Amino acid sequence: MHLKPAVIPGPFQQRVSAIGPGLLARFVLASVPALLLGLWAVGLRSAAELPSSWIDALATGAALWLPRVLLALFVSVAWAVVFSRVRNRQLDTGWLYLAWMFVLLLPAATPLPLVVIGLSFGLLFGCHAFGGTGRYIVNPALLGLVFLEMAYPAAMDHYGVAGASATSTWSLLAGGGPEALFAAGITWRDVVLGLEVAVLGAPSAVLCLAGLGYLVARRLAPWRLPVGALAGLLAMAWLFGGQAWYWFPALGSFTLALAFIACDPTTVPESRAGQWSMGLLFGALTAILRTLNPDHPEGSLQALLLASLAAPVIDHWAALRRRDDQDD
């Protein structure tokens, strides 16, 4: 059976043809160090007894991660095959990247049925409904995760570790400031290095930013968007006051979303103005949502969803400005 290439005429043609499996595999590769530390942190805290070595802790975390990533890969491939057959086109190139990133955003103890539901929702309504990788507006892994947080908030707040949840560390900071964290034995260094339990891919802001640095150095991700996001986050956190501004990048999934989701080659704005604007909007909205709603601290994912929706408008506005300047 002859399959048409996954390229269609129009403004998306150049972007679709440029996003191949090799490019997206680099994003997966860049996230591996953060994932390994996440597996170790979850395994260290979830074991009934203190693991005898770091290998035992890593194995305990991997036992939670492996069924979920294998299931996610199966779901992603299955939907890619279905739409490849229906549209008589080549297999969508983003199946590995989207499944991998979706699992990185999940708490370690997410029930397996929710993995299927959330990823299927993101792939159907966020990816294949728009024609696949290179054409969607919002990262499908992000869309599926936000859907699960809205539909199943209790399940998405459980990290599989006694006493650990998405709100625990942030609630201490929002309620009593850094002093409350210090009293609980939590330091900024512990959080930024990844010694606190978080979602599988976001325990360490340092490793997430290191992965981002690799992508920027290889010119696979723009530098303007992450710089704008960090500037927007820190500036808005400082303006709001109340919490120490330097805690904001270290907590939650902000650096994970910034490094591997916001810089998705499909959704990243093409114009420089669009990259700056999306980054600033992402960072500022994260600080606003976290501060106004301390009971739901993971505002970074919702903020990125809103910023991604604004990106095409910003790119369109930048293109109109450029055209007007050329006419003049």
Give the number of other Cβ atoms within 10 Å of residue 112's Cβ.
11
Q: Which residues contact 310 (CB under 8 A, 6 or more apart)?
A: 277, 278, 281
DSSP string, 41-98: HHHHHHSSS--SSHHHHHHHHHHHHHHHHHHHHHHHHHHHHHHHHHHTBPPPTTHHHH
Structurally, how many domains does the chain consist of?
1
Q: Does residue 3 form part of some domain?
A: no
As a whole-number percent, the residues of the chain with pLDDT over 90 amount to: 47
In a domain, 1, yes or no: no
Count of residues for the chain?
A: 328
160-211 residue pLDDT tens? 554 455 456 666 666 666 777 777 677 777 777 766 655 665 568 889 999 9
Instruction: Answer yes or no: is 9 within a domain.
Output: no
Quick check: 243 pLDDT over 70?
Answer: no
The set of residues, in sequence order, having a beta carbon less than 8 Å from that of 128 and lying 6+ positions away, is: 79, 83, 92
Whole-number average pLDDT of the chain = 83
Summarised one tens digit per residue, pLDDT across range 258-278 is 999 999 999 999 888 889 999
Domain presence at residue 170: yes
Write out the residue range of the structural domain in which residue 83 sits: 20-327
